[in-house]
Amino acid sequence: MLVSKEDFAKYPFIIGAVDYVKRLDLKTDELSQPEFSAIVTRAEARIEEALLDGIIKWESRLGYEIELLSYPVAIIFVSNIADNYLKKRYALAESKRIQALLKEDVDEKLTEIAISIFGWKVKRLPLEIYQPFDFSLSFIDYLRNAPNFHDFRWKLVNKHLINGEVFLQKDEFSRLISEEVRKHIEKTINTSPKVELNPLLLQRIEHIKQRLNIRKERIRIKEQPRNIISAAYPPCIKNFYDYLISGQHISHVGRFTLTSFLLNAGMEIEKLIKLYTPISDFNQRLTRYQVEHIAGVRGSGTKYTPPSCETLKTHRLCPGPDELCSRIKHPLAYYRRKIRMIKK
Amino acid sequence: MKNPRKFIIQKFSEYYRDNANKIPLPTSYKKREFGFILSDKGIMLRHKAFSEPRFFRDFIKLITPSDVYHSAAYYKHPSREMGKKEWIGADLIFDIDFDHISTPCTEEHEYWTCELCDQAGVGKQPSVCSQCGGSKFKMVAWLCETCLETAKSEALKLIEFLVNDFGFPPQDVEVCFSGHRGYHIHVERDEIKQLDQNARKEIVDYVQGTGLKVSLHGLMQVSRKMGQKIIGPDLNDPGWSGKIARGVYDIIVTYNLQQLKEINGINKNIASLIFSQREKILKAWNTGTPWGSIKGVGIKTWEKLVETSVVNQAVSIDTVVTIDIHRLIRMPLTLHGKTGLKVVSIPSKSLERFDPLRDAVAFNEGTLKVYILAAHRFRIGKEIYGPYERETVKLPMAAAIYLLCKRAALLTD
């Protein structure tokens, strides 16, 4: 089904497209030759669109061949620049292009990509009976990507789940495939072998790097304030904190949340350990171990961040959102934003 | 008086001597980690692995653990320390325990033991121990029939979710009585082994109804030519939509006026209105248009009814257990150190008839004279015992061991 050059250009990650490019057996050295300059230019444009617009355009008017071949070239460039921000941004922008195309494509192509490339269990639904749904996807495959989306409509609890299958509309299914594609492209970039590029191509890469640096400068996140402002605690943290001060029991997840929150907000380890003194089962040595573990001083060296709002809800530790909560997804995001509001 | 701890270890040792060979090892046991609580020290021995069932069986006969666990996870190197095990996958597990379910009987079975001496008692803990003057007490969970029944009905609800909504074949859903306060449910299928923590969290949220938005299940106000109209899910809808509809139907059928008035966010007059019009609402349900069938009952009220219905239909589980992909769970036919009952695996279709206080009894032979400090009424097998207070009683072995494990009784000389 997915055999035309148009399909290859639209979905350059599918096996047919990859094989087609392989058979051409192009060498990176050849890319600096004039007959390939349209391809290299389009590859550069792809990356630029990713940086500036966050989505790559579908440029069918250049011809399918150029559109298809510029994809692996762009991957070589991105992988060569080896910047994590760019890698992620590029994969996302490609996946958005693909999502838009999938939405408009025929149903069979969506199922074919899902089944043959990703091995998903999916069925097309006869329209009359299952309206408004178009596809049913195994919940296992649904959960590969849906938890990455934060809107409530993606929660499994808000979906029709029947006998292990999640019922989906076409735009939803396109979104799930494109998320899998995003991960697939990221992996392709990260596993792409390092190639030597000639000076002409390196010049192009220099140009992209400059654009990248301008972009990164603009989004540079300001350092967090280091003194703790308790008035900016979100309701959940305020609760845990009050419990702690009054010596009441806090669940394990609750303690972890509070500890990692305060550490990330900049509290010193010693001060934090002292804070735990009122708890009846206080054990200085164990507390020190746990706090230092969360701080990343011990063990694996990972510095932990508190769980997201959604995880706290799952553990029934969200005391109920306030107005600001509805606009954030993480206790630390609440804290940062509240500080900005207080300072104003 | 003799040390009850030594006696319990001796009885546990006899149990394992006679029964260790019957204990089935889990599938792919070579890839799992085993854990044991050591009877005398009360500490956990972890990271054990066995290459053959007889090594496992010899091991428990040798050490007589008070509790036995295996990992729900599979590892390349199960006996290495946590960071070096190399996780391969994990079964999907659920823990239903009274700790997570609020039952009306909690106050009836409060029980405390003194941390410094062997004093114990029913009811609220005293401020100081009358025997030693100590002020530190431990609250002990008493096995209560009401609680056990509640846990069982929660387990049945969960099985329905797993079979109907998630599509697991009933024979792949294993239910275990934990030997104490609840049930474990264990799904072993290849396709779920790779689920990550985020995916498992979504499953937890699904069975608990967390994050459910009623409008996404079709309850909403729409504008029609004739004016505003409320539409909503149907009784026969699949998944949560149908559960919501059936749950609201149940509320209308079974709640009395007082219960309706107690629903959070429902106006007392509207509660009366619903109560007086229930025949009409139920009739409207047969024609498929109950939502909005009563003038004066608006979308906000229906939403509140749905919220209550979600709470009634959802299952209360220990959220941490399901999300943790390295969790240890109890092994069937091993003993629970806090009761002397055994962990029992139950085919999901037989759960309804399962009686934990009869079917999980491990010590069926002999009697024992014990001095009981204090005890609520309790049942083991067919017999009901107690309440007792400071008296010496001759009890069947299972009942006596139960009290000893709970530290509610001492051995007589």
CATH of residue A173: 1.20.930
Q: Which residue has the tokens 């889990």?
A: B26
Task: Return the number of other C-beta atoms located less than 10 Å from residue B30's C-beta.
Answer: 12
pLDDT tens digits for A258-294? 999 998 888 888 888 888 765 545 567 778 888 888 8
Domain identity same for A134 and A30: yes
In a domain, A299, yes or no: yes
Is the peptide bond preceding residue A132 cis, with omega within 30 degrees of 0? yes
Domain identity same for A153 and A256: no
Domain identity same for B327 and B233: no
Domain identity same for B309 and B322: no
Q: Would you say residue B88 has pLDDT above 60?
A: yes
Tell me the angle at which helices A284-295 and A252-265 cross, rounded to the nearest 10 degrees.
60
Q: Do A156 and B202 touch (CB under 8 A)?
A: yes
Could you tell me if A160 lies within 8 Å of chain B, comparing CB atoms? yes
Domain identity same for B22 and B154: yes
Closest CA to A165 of A130, A195, A140: A140
Question: Quick one: which H or E segment has residue B61?
Answer: helix B53-63
- Name A328's bridge partners: none
In a domain, A225, yes or no: no
Q: Please return the burial class of B156, using the count of CB atoms within 10 Å of its CB with bins 0-12, 13-18 and 19+.
A: middle
Closest CA to A194 of A303, A80, A43: A80
Closest CA to B271 of B285, B252, B243, B290: B252
- The 3-class SS string of chain A reads CCCCHHHHHHCCCCHHHHHHHHHHCCCHHHHHCHHHHHHHHHHHHHHHHHHHCCCCCCCHHHCHHHHHHHHHHHHHHHHHHCCHHHHHHHHHHHHHHHHHHHHHCCHHHHHHHHHHHCCCCEEECCHHHHCCCCEEEEHHHHHHHHHHCCCHHHCHHHCCEECCEEEECHHHHHHHHHHHHHHHHHHHHHHCCCCCCCHHHHHHHHHHHHHHHHHHHHHCCCCCCCCCCHHHCCHHHHHHHHHHHCCCCCCHHHHHHHHHHHHHHCCCHHHHHHHCCCCCCCCHHHHHHHHHHHHCCCCCCCCCCCCCHHHHHHCCCCCCCCCHHHHCCCHHHHHHHHHHHHHC
Total-model pTM: 0.85
Q: Domain boundary at A154, A189, A218, which?
A: A218
> What's the CATH number where B30 sits?
3.90.920.10
Task: Return the number of other C-beta atoms located less than 10 Å from residue A276's C-beta.
Answer: 21
How many domains, chain A? 2
Domain identity same for A246 and A136: no
Could you tell me if A169 lies within 8 Å of chain B, comparing CB atoms? no
Domain identity same for A146 and A252: no
Task: Return the number of other C-beta atoms located less than 10 Å from residue A129's C-beta.
Answer: 7
Q: Do A158 and B199 touch (CB under 8 A)?
A: no
Q: Do A164 and B168 touch (CB under 8 A)?
A: yes
What integer pLDDT is reported at residue B47 of this predicted model? 96
Could you tell me if A140 lies within 8 Å of chain B, comparing CB atoms? yes
Q: Do A158 and B191 touch (CB under 8 A)?
A: no
Which of A62-66, A269-273, B148-152, B322-326 is least confident? A269-273
Confidence bin at B397 (pLDDT 50/70/90): very high
Domain identity same for B24 and B149: yes
* Nearest-angstrom CA–CA distance, A3 and A208: 33
How many domains, chain B? 2
In a domain, A199, yes or no: yes
Domain identity same for B322 and B291: no
Domain identity same for A193 and A246: no
* Nearest-angstrom CA–CA distance, A37 and A295: 51
Indicate which of A123, A140, A156, A169 best probes the interface with B, i.e. most B CBs within 10 Å of its own CB. A156
Q: Which among A158, A161, A252 has CB closest to B213?
A: A158
Domain identity same for B154 and B265: no
User: Per residue in B57-73, is it b (16+ CB within 10 Å) or e — as a string?
Assistant: bebbeeebbbbbbbbbb
Max Cα distance, chain A (Å): 77
pLDDT tens digits for B249-271? 999 999 999 999 999 888 899 99
Q: Would you say residue B161 has pLDDT above 70?
A: yes
In a domain, B119, yes or no: no
In a domain, A173, yes or no: yes
Cβ contacts of B268 within 8 Å, gap of 6 or more: B261
Task: List the domain range (segments joined by +) for residue B15.
Answer: 4-102+144-204+318-362
What integer pLDDT is reported at residue A222 of this predicted model? 46
What integer pLDDT is reported at residue B138 of this predicted model? 80
Residue type, A229: I
A222's tokens? 């300001």
What integer pLDDT is reported at residue A242 of this predicted model? 84
CB B345 within 8 A of CB B332: yes
Closest CA to B239 of A215, A159, A313: A159
Q: Domain boundary at B247, B282, B313, which?
A: B313
In a domain, A82, yes or no: yes
Domain identity same for A204 and A144: yes
Q: Would you say residue B1 has pLDDT above 70?
A: no
Indicate which of A253, A314, A326 best probes the interface with B, i.e. most B CBs within 10 Å of its own CB. A314
Closest CA to B82 of B94, B73, B95: B73
Domain identity same for A192 and A300: no
Q: Which residue has the tokens 């069979």?
A: A108
In a domain, B125, yes or no: no
Cβ contacts of A55 within 8 Å, gap of 6 or more: A49, A93, A96, A97, A100
In a domain, B186, yes or no: yes
- Residue A313 with chain B: CB contacts under 8 Å: 205, 210-211
Confidence bin at B101 (pLDDT 50/70/90): low
pLDDT tens digits for B198-239? 999 999 999 999 999 999 998 888 887 777 788 889 888 889
- Residue B323 with chain A: CB contacts under 8 Å: 314
Domain identity same for B282 and B238: yes
Q: Which among A153, A161, A311 has CB closest to B239?
A: A161
Q: Domain boundary at A218, A245, A272, which?
A: A218
User: Which region holds residue B123: left if phi is over 0, alpha if psi is between -120 and 50, else beta?
Assistant: left
Domain identity same for A202 and A247: no
The secondary structure of residue B171, as a DSSP letter, is G
Q: Do A155 and B165 touch (CB under 8 A)?
A: no
What integer pLDDT is reported at residue B107 of this predicted model? 65
Domain identity same for A253 and A107: no
Residue type, A197: L
B357's tokens? 């206080």
In a domain, A144, yes or no: yes
Could you tell me if A153 lies within 8 Å of chain B, comparing CB atoms? yes
Domain identity same for A245 and A194: no
Q: Domain boundary at A218, A243, A278, which?
A: A218
What integer pLDDT is reported at residue A224 of this predicted model? 45
Q: Do B167 and A164 touch (CB under 8 A)?
A: yes
Q: Where are the alpha helices (DSSP H) in B79-216?
A: 145-160, 197-208
Domain identity same for B56 and B178: yes
Domain identity same for B160 and B222: no
* Nearest-angstrom CA–CA distance, B268 and B272: 6
> Which portions of chain A are predicted below pLDDT 50?
222-225, 280
Residues of B with CB under 8 A from a CB of A: 83, 164-168, 191-192, 195, 198-199, 201-206, 208-213, 216-217, 237-241, 319-320, 323
Domain identity same for B174 and B264: no
- Residue B168 with chain A: CB contacts under 8 Å: 164
Compare all CA atoms of chain A with the CA of B218 and give the residue at the minimum distance. A158
Angle at the Cα of B397 (from B393 to B402), degrees rounded to 5? 85
Indicate which of B200, B202, B322 best probes the interface with A, i.e. most A CBs within 10 Å of its own CB. B202
What integer pLDDT is reported at residue A280 of this predicted model? 47
In a domain, B391, yes or no: no
Domain identity same for B331 and B184: yes
- Residue B167 with chain A: CB contacts under 8 Å: 139, 162-165
Distance from CA of B119 to the nearest CA of A (A): 21
In a domain, B189, yes or no: yes
B133's tokens? 């003057």
Q: Do B202 and A159 touch (CB under 8 A)?
A: no
Domain identity same for A66 and A170: yes
Q: Do A161 and B199 touch (CB under 8 A)?
A: no
In a domain, A224, yes or no: no
In a domain, B404, yes or no: no
Mean pLDDT of B164-193: 95
Residues 221-280 of A with CB under 8 A from B: 252-253
In a domain, B65, yes or no: yes
In a domain, A245, yes or no: yes
> What's the CATH number where B265 sits?
1.10.8.160
Question: Quick one: which H or E segment has residue B220?
Answer: strand B220-224
CB B194 within 8 A of CB B89: yes
* Nearest-angstrom CA–CA distance, B191 and A151: 26
Domain identity same for A193 and A84: yes
Domain identity same for B184 and B78: yes
Q: What is the mean pLDDT of chain B?
A: 91
Confidence bin at B349 (pLDDT 50/70/90): confident
Closest CA to B109 of B121, B97, B130, B123: B123
Closest CA to A174 of A140, A137, A138, A139: A137
Confidence bin at B106 (pLDDT 50/70/90): low
The CA distances from residue B218 to A158, B244, B355, in Å, are 10, 10, 40
- Sign of the four-CA dihedral B240, B242, B243, B247: positive
Indicate which of A158, A167, A249, A326 best probes the interface with B, i.e. most B CBs within 10 Å of its own CB. A158
CA B81 to chain CA centroid, nearest Å? 30
pLDDT tens digits for B24-58? 999 999 999 999 999 988 899 999 999 999 999 99
Task: List the domain range (segments joined by +) for residue A316.
Answer: 230-343
Higher pLDDT, A186 or B289: A186
In a domain, B132, yes or no: no
* Nearest-angstrom CA–CA distance, B340 and B398: 7
Q: Do A315 and B198 touch (CB under 8 A)?
A: no
Q: Which among B164, B191, B217 has CB closest to A140?
A: B191
A110's tokens? 């969506």
